[in-house]
Amino acid sequence: MYVTHLVAPKHGSTEAECEDAVAVLPGRPHDYMLREPLTAGVCDGATESALAKDWARLLSRAAAEYAMELPDVLAGGTAFEEFASSAVAQWEPWLVQYTQARHAEGRPLKWYEHTKLAEGAYATLLTVRVDPDSDSRADTTEPAWRWRAAALGDSCLFHLHDNRLVQAFPVAAVEEFGTTPDLFGSRNHDVALLARRTRFTEGRCRPGDRLLLMTDALAAWLLSAPDQDDAVSQLLEFAGPDDLDGFTNWLNGLRDCRQLRNDDVALVRIDFEGR
């Protein structure tokens, strides 16, 4: 199993302003063959909230770490609620530190920031864990993997077999995207509600399969592509961190011809090999 990820800001924003965030564990180079469990968190910070990028980074990392420690978080219920509590509990201390740092820099929070930060920061959250499948039948030599995913909002997972789409989660059709996805609020202590609104699924991968995790703009482009096989093959041109410039240029080309909404883009690509 190989994993790589690419994150590119929307046209007109700087890298530092990008509000999509990805965390992948274990942190290995893209050409390192993973034989152990893998976890990933993908977050899309809401444009309208302040510090959305910081919350997206904190939340994606918290999700990847928690799923690595406690795989049951991907079964939902109490385990997910406990994770949600632990993630929300990290926000206030972070914000206190941030506020102090701003003060120390001589840039204390302005009136509109006080108002805005009282509302909290918001992001989608897609959490994925992949395990080498211990249930695979002894009479087959072909390796297999089990994946589990949890999604709050419209960051998506696509399962490809022989580069053809076999599953899209949690959004299956482009019409389902909008400007009001479900979001994980940094001050939402109603963890039962967070767990209830999060959707859970799982599947199995065989050699030749891939999982693609991505935020909404790119997912909407893939789901609406008139020729999906061609769209997948274009996307698979980008296979490592060295491809970031090419990826960004390709995204800008799609934006110019209005095929892709101008938004931040995060992509995680997990390739399963062994044939």
Peptide bond into 132 cis (omega under 30): no
Residue 34, amino acid:
L
111 makes contact with other proteins (CB under 8 A): yes
> Measured at the alpha carbon of residue 151, what is the angle toward residues 155 and 10, in degrees to the nearest 5?
15
162: left (phi over 0), alpha (psi -120 to 50) or beta: left
Q: Does 115 engage in binding with other proteins (CB under 8 A)?
A: yes
Q: Which amino acid is at 197?
A: R
Among 69, 119, 242, 273, binds other proteins (CB under 8 A): 119
263 lies in the site for other proteins, by CB under 8 A: yes
Question: By C-beta, is 16 or 33 nearer to other proteins?
Answer: 16
Structure tokens at 164: 């053809």
Q: Which stretch binds other proteins (CB under 8 A): 67-75, 108-116, 131-139, 231-239?
A: 108-116
Please tell me whether residue 105 binds other proteins under the rule CB under 8 A: no
- 117's torsion region: left (phi>0), alpha (psi -120 to 50) or beta? alpha
Tell me: does residue 150 bind other proteins (CB under 8 A): no
CA distance 164 to 232: 8
Nearest one of 268, 269, 272 to 42, comparing CA atoms = 268
Site string for other proteins, 37-56 (x = CB under 8 A): -------x-xxxxxxx-x--
Pick 112 or 245: Cβ nearer other proteins: 112
- The answer to the question of residue 182 lying near other proteins (CB under 8 A) is yes
Which residues contact other proteins by CB under 8 A? 12, 44, 46-52, 54, 110-116, 119-122, 179-183, 185, 188-190, 193-194, 197, 262-263
